[in-house]
Amino acid sequence: MGRKFFVGGNWKCNGTTDEVKKIISTLNAAEVPSQDVVEVVVSPPYVFLPLTQASLRPDFHVAAQNCWVKKGGAYTGEVSAEMLVNLGVPWVIIGHSERRQLLGESNEFVGEKVAYALSQGLKVIACVGETLEQRESGSTMEVVAAQTKAIADRVSDWTNIVIAYEPVWAIGTGKVATPAQAQEVHHELRKWLHANTSPAVAESTRIIYGGSVNGANCKELGGQPDVDGFLVGGASLKPEFIDIIKAAEVKKSA
Ligand SMILES: O=C(CO)COP(=O)(O)O
């Protein structure tokens, strides 16, 4: 079975109630390919999850942007996987580079979070990606493999994981990876999964690209054989996100 195109919108720490309502009404009115062709998930800040769930069209789903590493309890400021499940939130983004870099989340911590979230029944968008310095020193694959290994060491069933390759230098910078750069890492990552998990996992796991994806560059990126969709930041707050969802059509005609 082919890998269904996946388009995630990561709203990050943005929005007011009115702005969220506006984004949702734009999404709800949009004509996009069917659920058989594309899986669409938007990720509002925690506080807007209930509002988003209550008003978002049923063929789109929601993701939280993070969750706690284990069972909830005395962890002030955290939100547990159990709470997300209780709310009926199906997805969670884990290991975003902003959390790795600004909040010091290590590969191991991210791996533990992924394993715990999966154990509670959440589906996970797990983020990996190198910094500019790491790319320039030639260690991109080493970094991405180590980040993925920390997950693979703790997880055996990859059915509910989507990997988001998000080069840090491309996030929020307007400096998008070229289609060839994205394809190269996605291909290497799939090879890594083939060797270190199983051929079936490598074949079926979706690897999506994130980093300055927009309405103008999405088709060419999405046309790469190992690019199975996107995780979109800035452009997911704009009507342009609909064009990015429509980029799923490039796979249909491929
Ligand atoms: O971090 C991202 C998605 O998670 C990408 O952000 P931008 O699309 O704003 O570069």
Q: Exactly one of 61, 96, 105, 112 is catalytic; name it.
A: 96
Q: Please name the residue that has the structure tokens 């002030």.
A: 76
A 10 A CB-CB count for 10 gives 27
Please tell me the distance between residue 71's alpha carbon and the centre of ligand 1 in angstroms. Answer: 29
pLDDT digits (tens, 9 = 90+) for 78-104: 999 999 999 999 999 999 999 999 999
pLDDT, the chain, mean: 97
Q: Give pLDDT, residue 20.
A: 98
| 10 Cβ closer than 6 Å to some ligand 1 atom | yes
Classify burial at 30, counting beta carbons within 10 Å of its beta carbon; exposed 0-12, middle 13-18, buried 19 or more.
Answer: middle
Classify burial at 21, counting beta carbons within 10 Å of its beta carbon; exposed 0-12, middle 13-18, buried 19 or more.
Answer: middle
DSSP sequence for 39-77: EEEEE--GGGHHHHHHHS-TTEEEEES---SSS-SS-TT
Please choose, from the candidates 7, 58, 5, 1, the residue with its C-alpha nearest in 3D space to the C-alpha of residue 36. 5
Task: Indicate which atom in ligand 1 lies nearest the CA of residue 173.
Answer: 10
Task: Indicate which atom in ligand 1 lies nearest the CA of residue 170.
Answer: 10
| 175 Cβ closer than 6 Å to some ligand 1 atom | no
Contact 108, 94 (CB under 8 A): no
Ligand 1 pocket: which of 166, 173, 218 to mutate (most atoms <8 Å of CB)? 166
| 234 Cβ closer than 6 Å to some ligand 1 atom | yes
The answer to whether residue 250 scores a pLDDT higher than 80 is yes
Listed in sequence order, the residues at least 6 apart from 47 whose beta carbon sits closer than 8 Å to its beta carbon are none
Q: Exactly one of 39, 105, 112, 166 is catalytic; name it.
A: 166
The answer to whether residue 253 scores a pLDDT higher than 70 is no
Percent of the chain with pLDDT over 90: 98
Query: What is the pTM for the complete model shown?
Result: 0.98
Please choose, from the candidates 95, 222, 204, the residue with its C-alpha nearest in 3D space to the C-alpha of residue 148. 95
Q: Give pLDDT, residue 246.
A: 98
C-alpha to C-alpha distance for 114 and 9, rounded to whole angstroms: 19
Between CA 155 and CA 146, with CA 132 as vertex, the angle to 5 degrees is 20
Span between the terminal Cα atoms of the chain, in Å: 15
Nearest residue CA, atom 2 of ligand 1?
A: 233
| 231 Cβ closer than 6 Å to some ligand 1 atom | yes
Active-site residue flag, 166: yes
Please tell me the distance between residue 8's alpha carbon and the centre of ligand 1 in angstroms. Answer: 10
Q: Give pLDDT, residue 252.
A: 74
The answer to whether residue 1 scores a pLDDT higher than 90 is no
Please tell me the distance between residue 93's alpha carbon and the centre of ligand 1 in angstroms. Answer: 12
Q: Where are the domains of the chain?
A: 5-252
Task: Give the ipTM.
Answer: 0.99
What one-character DSSP code corresponds to residue 217? Answer: T
Please tell me the distance between residue 231's alpha carbon and the centre of ligand 1 in angstroms. Answer: 7
pLDDT digits (tens, 9 = 90+) for 199-238: 999 999 999 999 999 999 999 999 999 999 999 999 999 9
Q: Give pLDDT, residue 162.
A: 98
pLDDT digits (tens, 9 = 90+) for 178-201: 999 999 999 999 999 999 999 999
A 10 A CB-CB count for 161 gives 20
Q: Give pLDDT, residue 251.
A: 86
| 232 Cβ closer than 6 Å to some ligand 1 atom | yes
Q: Give pLDDT, residue 254.
A: 57
* Burial readout 75-98 (b: 16 or more C-beta within 10 A, e: otherwise): eeeebbbbbbbeeebbbbbbbbbb
Question: Taking phi first (over 0 means left), then psi (-120 to 50 degrees means alpha), and beta for anything else, what does residue 39 get?
Answer: beta
CATH of 5-252, one of 3.40.47.10, 1.10.357.10, 3.40.640.10, 3.20.20.70: 3.20.20.70
Listed in sequence order, the residues at least 6 apart from 92 whose beta carbon sits closer than 8 Å to its beta carbon are 63, 64, 65, 66, 67, 81, 84, 117, 122, 123, 124, 125
Ligand 1 pocket: which of 171, 173, 218, 240 to mutate (most atoms <8 Å of CB)? 171
pLDDT digits (tens, 9 = 90+) for 119-172: 999 999 999 999 999 999 999 999 999 999 999 999 999 999 999 999 999 999
SS3 205: coil
